[in-house]
């Protein structure tokens, strides 16, 4: 995707929040439109970070798999994930992410069956980090700014 998408998203968010939302008299509809504007604004701000976040998440999951399971890189590649140092398209990184997350889920079930508490604790820490990268908690602050 081109950086122009960032600019288009920012412009759309500004138009919605600053131009169209104030023209609506119904407070509920105004709030809904401002929410959509804020979501678009967050998308624009997070757009550049999404590829680096996916890349980091993939690296973290791969590191966990290699450390806490009996899988090696060859085993993981049999599931369709290839360890590479090349810069990838975001859609390929997302595909890899789905493969790795599926492996993470399956291996967590194995660890639960084996009673491996160390591996499970590490997996929960990993999942919290993954969740933290995907939060949209910035939305509340942006909505409050747009209402004032």
Residue 15 has pLDDT above 70, yes or no: yes
DSSP secondary structure string for all residues of 39-105: HHHHHHHHHHHHHHHHHHHHHHHHHHHHHHSS--HHHHHTTT-----S---HHHHHHHHHHHHHHHH
| Integer Cα distance of 2 and 89 in angstroms | 11
pTM: 0.61
- Residues 121-144: tens digit of each pLDDT: 999 999 998 887 766 544 444 444
Provide the pLDDT confidence category of residue 111 given band limits of 50, 70 and 90: very high
DSSP secondary structure string for all residues of 19-51: IIGGG---HHHHHHHHHHHHHHHHHHHHHHHHH
**Of 39, 40, 37, 5, nearest to 18 (Cα)?**
37
| Pairwise pLDDT comparison (138 vs 5), residue with the higher score | 5
Q: Do the Cβ atoms of 24 and 30 come closer than 8 Å? A: yes
- Residues 23-82: tens digit of each pLDDT: 899 999 989 988 888 888 877 777 656 677 788 899 999 999 999 999 888 888 888 887
């Amino acid at each position: 995707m081109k950086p122009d998408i960032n600019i288009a998203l920012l412009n759309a968010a500004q138009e919605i929040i600053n131009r169209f939302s104030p023209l609506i008299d119904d407070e509920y509809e105004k709030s809904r439109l401002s929410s959509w504007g804020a979501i678009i604004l967050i998308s624009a701000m997070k757009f550049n970070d999404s590829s680096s976040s996916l890349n980091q998440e993939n690296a973290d999951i791969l590191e966990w798999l290699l450390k806490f399971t009996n899988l090696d890189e060859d085993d993981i590649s049999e599931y369709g994930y290839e360890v590479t140092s090349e810069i990838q398209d975001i859609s390929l990184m997302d595909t890899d992410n789905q493969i790795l997350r599926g492996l993470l889920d399956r291996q967590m079930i194995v660890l639960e069956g084996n009673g491996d508490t160390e591996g499970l604790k590490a997996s929960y820490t990993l999942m919290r980090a993954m969740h933290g990268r995907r939060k949209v908690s910035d939305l509340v602050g942006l909505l409050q700014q747009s209402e004032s």
